[in-house]
Amino acid sequence: MKKLQKLIKISFFLSFLVASPIFASNIINPKSIEKVEKAIVNIETRIAVSAYLDPGSWRGTGFITDKEQGFIVTNNHVVGGASIGTYFVTFYDGRQVQAKPVYYDLWQDFAILQINPQEMPETIEQIKFSKEPAVTGQEVFVIGSPEGQEFSFHSGYVSTLYEINGMMPQSSYVVNLNSAGGASGSPLLNDKNEAIGVVYGGSKTYTLALHGEYVQSALAALKKGKIPARKHIGILTEQYSLDKAVRHRHFPKTEMDNYIKNFSGARNKAVAVKAILPGAPAENLLKPGDIIWEVEGESLKGNLAVLDKAMDGANAGEINLTIFRDGKKLKIAIKLYDINKNKVELMVNFAGATFFQADDLVSSKSGIPLKALAIKNVQTGSSFSSIPVSFTQDYKNIYRLGVQSINEQNVSSLDELIGVIPGAIKQKYVSIRFKNYQPYYPSFAADSTFISAQEDLISDITFDSIDTKPRILKFNHESTEWVAEDIGESN
């Protein structure tokens, strides 16, 4: 009798698992999936020259969002950002065409590629962005190429709305579904087949997706032939627990209690300053640990996108913040700068090194001040590879140098460098002064080179005749292509 009762209980439990709507997906529709697949593309990227990435090839995903103009949305890290590359787009039917990058964002991991609309298959579809943001527990799905499995389908649920994550801090959704390598650039879709986000990272158990509203504002400007308005104050942010703020930073408990009551979706976390870019407007005004409470009188509610939107839309040249620092509520006005003006759109190839002026991403990762003249990529065996200050990673020498002078002539910009190059080549034997932004690590081998962080150093260079063919590489906005120009001795 006991065995029979046990079998009945097991049988009832199994029938519940099969029949219960908790485990049934309401979003899987074969016709919808087939339609969405016709808007998904695979992207093959080949980078020949880059300011700070290693040349090479990789793959990602993208999706068509405007058939008339041929716009494809993907990730900035799929396109390669400040790089000269070739991009091949493969449609659902196997056809392949070449695309051009028309826009990428330094802070938010997305990019826009463009293809000739006449080269698209007639049966191609497009995916529009939703006007409604995601909600906790919402069922969503992704079609992409995780682990190289092209056009594979995965569904899951939104678990977190305001995660701050990514190469640069960006407001993100966390979703419990597989997004292993290759899914980057896939659309995060709702039950209406509309994109609410763009996948940029994750693992086999969760996905990180950029909020779709970031991309929508950029697309609206590009469709009008304008460069998207992107402004910033130069801070890196993180989510910070207000419980910790009460315990460690004298944050008022009454403020925390009201915050939990009014903004439950924030999960008692606020946006806080993690670091400040060297040379940014926020330097000397904000400090790491400052909690950003309001922007122009509006509460952030734990959502970094509120701050980002306010900065982009500011009509004045500054923005007003309300912050908490050491338990005190302060109001601070900070000047804004144009992110797009910091993009690397000019590079100089000279004697094996690629010179550029540091953008926001490089500044945040290396400490090189914004717009400072820098070197990161140096060809092995070239003239500039004799600079001993580097470290080896994956069998490649990595440099992080802020250039100060060549042959005792100050060079703080690419224009000044271009003016110095002809004379330096003629002299052949020169010296370069630079600031080293490499991390320090001890090495006690007899033949090792001492590596020290952020010191002013000098190194001797002998120019080889075979690698002293200097070139200017410049991005042309009209053709959306990079063009090369030799630097003559007459410069």
Cα separation, 386 vs 343, whole angstroms: 29
Domain assignment present for residue 18? The answer is no
Q: What is residue 488's predicted lDDT score, i.e. its pLDDT?
A: 67
327/254 same-domain check: yes
Of 56, 91, 119, which residue sits at a domain end?
A: 119
115/149 same-domain check: no
- The residue segments making up the domain with residue 45 are 31-119
363/306 same-domain check: no
* Mean pLDDT estimate for the chain: 88
Q: What is residue 449's predicted lDDT score, i.e. its pLDDT?
A: 55
239/277 same-domain check: yes
Contacts 24+ apart (CB under 8 A), 21-26: 25/139, 25/155, 26/139, 26/191
How confident is the model over 203-224, as a mean pLDDT?
92
Domain assignment present for residue 180? The answer is yes
> How many domains in the chain?
4
277/307 same-domain check: yes
Q: 10 pLDDT exceeds 50?
A: no
Question: What's the CATH code of the domain at 178?
Answer: 2.40.10.10
244/328 same-domain check: yes
261/379 same-domain check: no
352/334 same-domain check: no
Domain assignment present for residue 2? The answer is no
Domain assignment present for residue 260? The answer is yes
Domain assignment present for residue 152? The answer is yes
pTM: 0.88
How confident is the model over 86-109, as a mean pLDDT?
95
Of 321, 339, 357, which residue sits at a domain end?
A: 339
Burial of 380 from C-beta contacts in 10 A (0-12 / 13-18 / 19+): exposed
354/480 same-domain check: yes
CA dihedral angle for residue 18, residue 23, residue 27, residue 33, rounded to 10 degrees: -70
Q: Which amino acid is at 75?
A: N
366/412 same-domain check: yes
Q: What is residue 17's predicted lDDT score, i.e. its pLDDT?
A: 31
Q: What are phi and psi of 333, to 5 degrees?
A: -100, 130
Domain assignment present for residue 17? The answer is no
240/204 same-domain check: no
Q: What is residue 204's predicted lDDT score, i.e. its pLDDT?
A: 78
Question: What's the CATH code of the domain at 239?
Answer: 2.30.42.10
Q: How confident is the model at residue 74 (pLDDT cuts 50, 70, 90)?
A: very high
384/429 same-domain check: yes
Q: Which amino acid is at 304?
A: L
Domain assignment present for residue 9? The answer is no
Of 202, 223, 244, which residue sits at a domain end?
A: 223
Question: What's the CATH code of the domain at 477?
Answer: 2.30.42
Domain assignment present for residue 15? The answer is no
pLDDT digits (tens, 9 = 90+) for 365-401: 999 999 999 999 998 889 999 888 766 666 677 889 9
Q: What is residue 2's predicted lDDT score, i.e. its pLDDT?
A: 41
